[in-house]
């Protein structure tokens, strides 16, 4: 079963999150400059900057990931009887069913439901390269061309 990216959904998602980020940055600058500096002092200003900064880093990260996903051409992953071939990585990575701890649909970043593939083990080189990432692959279902129930039925066969 070949699963491709729904590029138009990913593109519109990137636009929405990008616009939310721009509006949020403008709003936080307004609050930081005009509101909290006059009434609450420098500690509240620092906390606002830290909170909004962390939020915007997360939003920008998601937006960039969606832009990359919207430009992805071809098959995202192939599910076969021997395992899963993940084309998102470069070069493509083949995961045998014995290397996979579990596959399930779960809530991803409080926004959507994603196909989550958790691996049992990972090569040290790959763990070092992706130090902050966990040993999972996540594919939100609204960005996949095949409905989630068909994927689940194929995997459980």
pLDDT at residue number 35: 65
What does the pLDDT look like over 38-97, one tens digit per residue?
Answer: 566 667 777 777 777 777 787 777 778 778 878 878 788 888 888 888 787 667 777 778
> Which string of b and e fits 94-133 if b means at least 16 CB within 10 Å?
ebeeeeeeebeeeebeeeeebbbbebeeeeeeeeeeeeee
Q: 72 with 5: CB under 8 angstroms?
A: yes
CB 64, CB 81: distance < 8 Å: no
The one-character DSSP state at 36 is: I
Domain boundaries, the chain: 2-70, 75-156
Q: What is the pLDDT of residue 85?
A: 81
- CB count within 10 Å of CB 69 equals 21
**Right CATH number for 75-156 from 2.30.29, 3.40.50, 3.10.620, 1.10.3470?**
2.30.29
Q: Give me the numbers of helices (H) and strands (E) for the chain, helices first please.
A: 5, 7
123: pLDDT strictly greater than 70: no
């Amino acid at each position: 079963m070949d699963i491709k990216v729904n590029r138009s959904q990913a593109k519109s998602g990137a636009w929405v999150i990008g616009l939310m980020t721009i509006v949020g940055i403008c709003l936080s600058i307004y609050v930081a400059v005009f509101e909290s500096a006059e009434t609450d002092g420098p500690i509240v200003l620092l906390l606002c900057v830290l909170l909004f900064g962390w939020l915007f880093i997360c939003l920008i990260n998601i937006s960039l990931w969606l832009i990359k996903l919207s430009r992805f051409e071809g098959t995202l992953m192939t599910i076969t009887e021997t395992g899963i071939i993940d084309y998102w990585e470069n070069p493509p990575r083949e995961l045998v069913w014995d290397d996979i701890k579990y596959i399930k649909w779960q809530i991803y970043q409080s926004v959507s439901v994603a196909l989550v593939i958790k691996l049992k083990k990972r090569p040290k080189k790959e763990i070092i390269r992706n130090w902050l990432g966990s040993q999972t692959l996540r594919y939100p279902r609204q960005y996949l061309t095949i409905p989630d129930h068909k994927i689940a039925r194929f995997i459980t066969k």
